[in-house]
Every structure is written in structure tokens, then in C-alpha cells.
Amino acid sequence: MADEHVCDPGCALRRRDFLGAAALAALALLDTACGNGIIGPADAGVQAGGSTTTANGGLLVTLSAFSALSSTGGIARVDGGRGRPVALVRTGATSFIAYSLVCPHQGYTVDVNGSSFYCPAHGARFSSTGVNNGGQRTGNLAVRQTVYDAVAGTVTINP
């Protein structure tokens, strides 16, 4: 008969305790990786390439920091590469639309690709209006509400 290891009552860690601790550690890592749910940088007030988070977790974009947004049809990723990825599209002289750059297929980050969007993970393509128009069949990009302030030269993207 093979020797079996049997924990005595003083054994430091039982299998059930180990598995429970491992599950809690995995959940903590998942929570850290998923972020805090805001679309901009995680720390309020942190400057990120022309964008600053607002008190409610939105994103304040200074238009002069993004040359692509100087004319109608221009598109720029405006989250500074931190937080939830978001792009801003200038649709008119005083109008803008923001899109989440989280691919609706499997959550990968979508790239700005000239005057459109492209998901490098599965090949989904989206028009400048966020509509899926080729590659992997999926839904459209999620729209975020915007408020333009012409005097300040900013656009606020609400969470």
C-alpha cells in the first residue's frame, strides 16, 4: 500500500482552504484587470494626452490637443491610452459623437483606422458612425453622450 499523506489537526492548510484562497485571489486579479468602470483615466484630474477625467467619471477632451478633430469627419482616440478606450468623431462644426472602442464581439480594443474603426483581434470593421460594416459580424460600437463647449474648446464625454 502506498504511503498517503494525511493532515493532522495541526496541518496549516487544508485543500478546501487552499482552493477558497485561490478563488479569492483570482477574483481580486479579475477586479483589478477590469478597472473601475469609467471611460477615462482612473484618477480624477489626471491629464492624459489632452483629456482629463471629470468628477462623475466622464472625460473632458481639449480639442486643440487632437489635430484630427480640427475638421468635420476627423476621428481621434481621446482616452490617452488609459482607462476605457474611447474615440471622438467630429460630425459637424459644433457636433461630436463619442464611441466606446470596446469591440462588441469579444471585448477587444478597436483601433482608429483612418476614417473608420478596425478590431485587430477578429477583423470586425466599423464605419465612422460606429456601424459594423464588414469582417467579423457583430453589433455596432456603443455611443457615449457628448457636450460641446465652443468657448472652452472642449467636449465632455459622459460615462
Please write the tens of the pLDDT for every residue from 11-22: 555 666 656 666
For residue 140 the three cell numbers come to 455596432
Residue 107, domain member (yes or no): yes
Question: What pLDDT does residue 41 have?
Answer: 36
φ/ψ (deg, to 5) at 55: -60, -30
Question: What pLDDT does residue 24 have?
Answer: 53
Structural domain boundaries, residue 98: 51-157
DSSP 75-102: EEE-STTSSS-EEEEE-SSS-EEEEE-B
Residue 94, domain member (yes or no): yes
pLDDT beyond 50 at 46: no
Q: Predicted confidence band at 7 (pLDDT cuts at 50, 70, 90)?
A: low
Question: What pLDDT does residue 53 have?
Answer: 82
Amino acid code (one letter) for 13? L
Residue 138, domain member (yes or no): yes
Contact 90, 69 (CB under 8 A): yes
For residue 14 the three cell numbers come to 487544508
Number of domains making up the chain: 1
DSSP 106-159: T-PBPEEETTEEE-TTT--EE-TTS-EEESS---PPPEE-EEEETTTTEEEEP-
Residue 67, domain member (yes or no): yes
Residue 65, domain member (yes or no): yes
Residue 110, domain member (yes or no): yes
Q: Rounded CA gap, 68 and 87, in Å?
A: 11
Residue 36, domain member (yes or no): no
On the CB side of 47, how many CA atoms lie within 13 Å of its CA?
4
106-118 tens-digit pLDDT: 999 999 999 999 9
Instruction: For residue 88, give the CATH number of its domain.
Output: 2.102.10.10
Q: Rounded CA gap, 82 and 78, in Å?
A: 9
Residue 15, domain member (yes or no): no
For residue 104 the three cell numbers come to 462588441
Q: Predicted confidence band at 42 (pLDDT cuts at 50, 70, 90)?
A: very low
Question: What pLDDT does residue 73 have?
Answer: 95
pTM reported for the whole predicted model: 0.68
